[in-house]
Amino acid sequence: MNATRDRVVLAGVASLAVASSLPPLSTLLVRFMLTQMLVQIPVIFLAAASLSAQIRLPTQTRWMRWNAQGAPGLLFSAIVLAFWMTPIALDGAAADSLWETGKIVSVVTAGISAGISWRLGSGVAHAFYVGNMVWMTVTAGMLYQESTERLCNAYLWDDQAITGQALVGVSVVLAVTWMLEVAGRNLRPLPRQGRRSD
């Protein structure tokens, strides 16, 4: 039952990601900074990450020794996402279809890389990755919020300011969710220990 529901959700996210990558929806999403940064890129990234998380990995293969703790994989994914937060790259994607294609390919690759590498990493690797993402997103959000000039030629100033606020909001939600998740996992008492203390 749960597996079926998961499969439906995954298929939904995947079709949404495919639609967001292709015209006419991609054209519409790229027209606004807010939808490019907070709808198109995250949807494509999350779809690629959650689909690749389903891939069953052989436990010990040669190539996995190149990706211990998922460190290079997670780093790659963080760098790609940071790249597509800079005004010059966003402008490029809005103005040039070659840039747009490059963006989609790289974000899909980053998602796959994160989906595979996340499982290999320990709590420390996860903390490093999530912390890095939150810090990057807050920085970009503050830059867009506080700039008095338009940083992208393709986008209006209002759009930029709202995108900045939304980026900060999203990263706060991301940080809190992750911390709650970690706390929930670590603070849950083991049933046996509970009985003993009675």
Partner 1 sequence: MTRTLIATLAVLIAGVLAFAGLTRGFTVLTAESARRQAVAAAPIPIPELIGVDQQGTRRRLFESAERRVVIVDFIYTRCTSLCSALGSSYQRLQSAIEAQHLENAVRLVTVSFDPARDTPEVIHEYGRSLGAKPDIWTILQPLDPEALRRSLKVFGVVATPAPQGQFVHNAAFHVIDRRGRLSRIIDISHPDVALAAARRLYGAS
Binding site for partner 1 (CB under 8 A): 65-69, 71-72, 75-76, 79, 83, 86-89, 91-92, 95, 150-157
Residue placing its CB nearer to partner 1 in the complex, 57 or 156: 156
Q: From the CB of 66, what's the least distance to partner 1, in Å? A: 5
Contacts of 10 (CB under 8 A, 6+ apart): 50, 51, 54
Residue 43 or 78: which CB sits closer to partner 1?
78
User: H or E segment at 9?
Assistant: helix 2-21
Cβ 104 vs Cβ 150: under 8 Å: no
Quote the least distance from Cβ 2 to partner 1, whole Å.
34
Name the residue nearer to partner 1 (CB basis): 149 or 198: 149
Select 156 or 183, whichever has its Cβ closest to partner 1. Answer: 156
Write down the least CB distance from residue 195 to partner 1, Å.
41
Burial of 19 (0-12, 13-18, 19+ CB in 10 A): middle
CB of 82 to partner 1, least distance (A): 8
CA 180, chain centre distance (Å): 18
